[in-house]
Amino acid sequence: MKKYLIFILITILFASCRLINPGKMFQTERNFKFSEFQASKKEYVIQAFDKLNVKIFTNDGFRLIDVQANAGNNMQNKNVISYLVEYDGKVKVPTLGRIKISGLTIREAEQLLEKEYSQYYKKPFVIINVTNRRIIIFSGGSSNGSVLPITNENFTLIEALAQAGGIDNFSKSYKIKLIRGNLNSPQVFLFNVSDLKDMNKANFLLQANDIIYVETRPRYASKVLIEIAPYMSLLTTILLIASFL
């Protein structure tokens, strides 16, 4: 009986260690070297798979001003076209064909298209908006995830955390990971928003497809109780039977 009880206890401990935190994501090694913080660029840089809304006007945008002055005019929607930046960073536009656009800021892309379209139109005026930028945020470990659209050019880490509902009492405000770039070899930044001296880093500007992960404090007691409850029930039954032998 004693050997049997020892076997049950070992089984309980093994199961608890293995299943105590199965949902943990984006784990790093103990001595993992995080990417160094760098001041964020103030302007967004276009990248592959961005979806662009492009408006093209002639005569330095005179028609745009005319359309805005006449709100009832439906002409304002006729020259809006949407494009997807392809995997190689090129976008296919009428007349010009495929043209390299990734790696440029929005202003640089507008200037490029204005230059290229000047061969065909008189003083072209181009407006570009990126419409599908979003970030993925896990604000309470793996149990609380959401996708947030980037709604302005200066969308920061603090804004993203606020939109996701903040940081609850079971999350680590001093251990926030930001994963950026190709997931085969990403940049991984570590942020601490619990201390005011590090808040300059918390104003880090986000880019499309950034992943934010706020680690949570493991609730060992409650999880262990949940895991061992069936074993305790079995043990109680065995002891009850043994008492009648």
Domain of 182, CATH number, reads: 3.10.560.10
**How confident is the model at residue 57, as a pLDDT?**
85
**How confident is the model at residue 5, as a pLDDT?**
53
- Domain, as residue range, for 106: 51-130
Mean pLDDT across the chain, nearest whole number? 77
Query: Would you say residue 228 has pLDDT above 70?
Result: no
Range in 44-53, 204-213, 232-241 with the lowest mean pLDDT: 232-241
91 and 140 fall within a common domain: no
Is 61 among the domain residues? yes
Domain of 111, CATH number, reads: 3.30.1950.10
Is 227 among the domain residues? no
Query: Would you say residue 89 has pLDDT above 60?
Result: yes
**How confident is the model at residue 194, as a pLDDT?**
83
What residues contact residue 88 under an 8 Å CB cut-off, 6+ apart? Answer: 48
95 and 170 fall within a common domain: no
Q: Write out pLDDT tens, residues 15-50.
A: 444 455 565 677 777 778 777 766 556 678 888 889
92: phi then psi, degrees, rounded to nearest 5: -95, 115
Number of domains in the chain: 2
Query: Would you say residue 102 has pLDDT above 80?
Result: yes
Exposed (0-12), middle (13-18) or buried (19+): which is 227, by Cβ within 10 Å? middle
What residues contact residue 107 under an 8 Å CB cut-off, 6+ apart? Answer: 43
- The mean pLDDT of 103-128, rounded to a whole number, is 92
Q: Which residue has the tokens 């609850």?
A: 168
**How confident is the model at residue 12, as a pLDDT?**
52
Query: Would you say residue 146 has pLDDT above 60?
Result: yes
Between 221 and 46, the more confident residue is 46
* 114 CB neighbour count, 10 Å cutoff: 16
Q: Write out pLDDT tens, residues 176-209.
A: 899 988 778 888 988 888 877 776 666 778 888 8
pTM over 0.75: no
120 and 161 fall within a common domain: no
88 and 151 fall within a common domain: no
Q: Which residue, 72, 102, 130, sits at the end of a domain? A: 130
Q: How far apart are the first and last CA of the chain?
A: 12
**How confident is the model at residue 29, as a pLDDT?**
73
Q: Write out pLDDT tens, residues 154-182.
A: 888 888 988 988 888 878 888 889 998 87
* 88 CB neighbour count, 10 Å cutoff: 10
Query: Would you say residue 67 has pLDDT above 60?
Result: no
d(CA 145, CA 38): 26
Most confident of 1-15, 20-34, 125-139: 125-139
**How confident is the model at residue 191, as a pLDDT?**
87
**How confident is the model at residue 158, as a pLDDT?**
87
**How confident is the model at residue 58, as a pLDDT?**
84
188 and 169 fall within a common domain: yes
Output the six-digit token pair for 50.
């961005």
**How confident is the model at residue 16, as a pLDDT?**
47
69 and 115 fall within a common domain: yes
Exposed (0-12), middle (13-18) or buried (19+): which is 164, by Cβ within 10 Å? buried
